[in-house]
Structure 1
């Protein structure tokens, strides 16, 4: 569930969200009291199991807050916790206590149990006053018109105890309603942003996670490069090198035949050698094309995609919204990644048509590949799509797959390309 995008619908839905947040502040108060009590019992050791349970319960509560606040603000708040090893309960308690995210959760717990309670109470109170005093005259005329004791609004200086008198409170209701409509959402969003500051990971945690991601991407890139070198070495050894060795033997035999006065047989062997030389050259060309396709240098990235689309067994349309010349390493990575996605569609998607959209969002090149196949695609470890993800990770790229059962499937690849050259010599036309 997420907040509606329409401003009017969103404001009307906020009271329900505030009721949910208000109930969580009550839970926060209970957990805060439990944390204080178990903290006092820890010195007697008997409180350690209870402390672990309370801290884990606080984490569950904090994760629910992350989800609700994230849905309200339209952001994602990742959990900043480290993985807990399976150890003795006293060691787990020590790890929980030493983790900075635990104390940030406890801080937000104390804030939400006090300030959050008041914030949501004030918001719901203003909303309730607006609704109550707007409908009260109607209720007195209809539902409570025959009640022996009418509803009394005793303000101390005057009793608004008749339908006519309660009409005098309508301006108050309208003022509260206007304040709720104008400032209520801003008030709740301000408080939610305060929660993001404490519930989200710190800058140090984000930096650590980013370093880990880059280290993993570097290792995967090194492994991929080593595997690619082994493939090239194997292809050269088993293909071109073997053909050239056979060519050398054939020419040697032809030389011997010429020395022994058999020019016809030597000419036949020279013809075979010529054919073997042509085959070896073709294999080398194919190998070079796999390393860096010449079409990329000749026609640019989108031009290469259009050439790829012409050779594809399915109807593929290419929409070029880029108009830039990309750096060569990024160009090659994007080309091979797109080629792998198209190959995966041919093998598994059962599609009838494919569309490739290339564009730019900020400083990122975004490639969308859409097909009308059966869907159900996922990034399985070791699979083709996982290989594309790893290839793009070397360039700090992203790889997302949206593929519900029954289709359609949309693969989105994003690659930072701030260094792309504007006004290239090979602009591709939209297909």
Structure 2
């Protein structure tokens, strides 16, 4: 979601008149698009209507965003762009459009904007053209255009109450997802410990017991062999425990930070992956871990499914948002809802108000963007980071 920045100064009558002329011209396009919407809705049963709608909705949103920017400048306050992300794929995108409440608000706004243009905007233009009415135009234009901008804001932006309701709903969903994810992680850890380290420790105990029995029967050679087996089992158990710990919080992440850890992931790939990481500090450890495992999952998918010859990763922190972009030049067609891996990444990020978006047209490239709002601390130097 992007936000139109607040302007320090409201536009004067001349610029507002230009807005009126532009909106008057766009009203014809809005009327045409409204007719296209109606035709597409009627023909939806024949499938061709769905194609018409998928083409008409982005055009409507483009015009609506122009009105949002004009309304923001006219009113001197931001008018957010509230559209939900529309992923790639015809049916996936169509579904995203259908479940986005702002899509339907745009539809209702279109005839209202057409009527407002031929009342308010036309009056402003007529007053500007008249010599006698010039004095009225100078003082009335700001009031008329603010009224028009208020109408646009009412339809094209959520109210504070609606935003709070959406926020509560989102927090409820992400909290439930976080609880489910934590429970699944606990079950995974329990399974890994039971099948790995615990089984080896049981074998270790049995080997030591047999070695003790061998000493009692005065068979030192067998006892030595059993002790050697116990040492090997101990080494394997330690390896299992380290593997479990890496699944919780990899040591490379704690030692080298997100940039270094991602570079280490890239070096382990069979496909050449370039990393461009420019982070002036480090996020909190939970956020760092969530982004790290998200990037790791994306790289695993590149290796298993993409057929790519090259991949790339960029890490940035801009405007209070940590952004990781993972791309490849593979065959494309990635569907984040097709498997559990990317859904798990979405749940991890959602716990921190983060998002994951996928652009993967057929034929590629595939670009996955992970974003998490967060602050960065000062870079930390650890003993394993190298000499100062």
What are the equivalent positions in structure 2 for 1:94-133 lying under 5 Å apart?
A: 115-122=116-123
Shift of 1:405: 1.4
Shift of 1:201: 2.4
Shift of 1:365: 0.7
Unaligned runs of 5+ in 2: 1-18, 36-57, 70-79, 85-101
- Maintained 8 Å contact 2:210/2:226: yes
What are the equivalent positions in structure 2 for 1:20-419 lying under 5 Å apart?
A: 20-21=29-30, 68-70=63-65, 72-73=67-68, 76-77=81-82, 115-122=116-123, 191-192=148-149, 194-380=151-337, 382-418=339-375
Shift of 1:346: 1.4
Distance in 2 (alpha carbons) for counterparts of 1:395 and 1:16: 43
Distance in 1 (alpha carbons) for counterparts of 2:272 and 2:251: 23
Relative distance call for 1:324 and 1:18 in structure 2 (3 A) is same
- Maintained 8 Å contact 1:67/1:77: no
- Maintained 8 Å contact 2:313/2:324: yes
Distance in 1 (alpha carbons) for counterparts of 2:161 and 2:68: 23
- Maintained 8 Å contact 1:22/1:121: no
Corresponding residue of 1:421 = 377
Corresponding residue of 1:18 = 27
Shift of 1:309: 1.0
Partner of 2:358, secondary structure, is strand
Corresponding residue of 1:164 = none
Distance in 1 (alpha carbons) for counterparts of 2:369 and 2:245: 28
Shift of 1:68: 4.1
- Maintained 8 Å contact 1:66/1:199: no
Quick one: higher RCO (CA 8 Å, sep 6+), 1 or 2?
2
Partner of 1:404, secondary structure, is coil
Q: What TM-score comes out, normalization by structure 2 length?
A: 0.68
Q: Deviations for 1:69-120, whole angstroms, at most 9, x for unmatched residues?
A: 23544663559xxxxxxxxxxxxxxxxxxxxx9xx99x97997586442134
Relative distance call for 1:316 and 1:201 in structure 2 (3 A) is same
Shift of 1:20: 3.4
Q: Deviations for 1:184-228, whole angstroms, at most 9, x for unmatched residues?
A: 9xx879735531224432211111111111111111111111111
Shift of 1:126: 8.8
Partner of 1:422, secondary structure, is coil
Distance in 1 (alpha carbons) for counterparts of 2:317 and 2:146: 31
Unaligned runs of 5+ in 1: 1-9, 27-62, 80-100, 131-171
Relative distance call for 1:266 and 1:65 in structure 2 (3 A) is closer
- Maintained 8 Å contact 2:197/2:240: yes
Shift of 1:376: 1.4
Partner of 2:218, secondary structure, is coil
Distance in 2 (alpha carbons) for counterparts of 1:291 and 1:391: 13
Partner of 2:236, secondary structure, is helix
Deviates more, 1:296-305 or 1:116-125: 116-125
- Maintained 8 Å contact 1:400/1:411: yes
Distance in 2 (alpha carbons) for counterparts of 1:118 and 1:309: 60
Shift of 1:383: 3.0
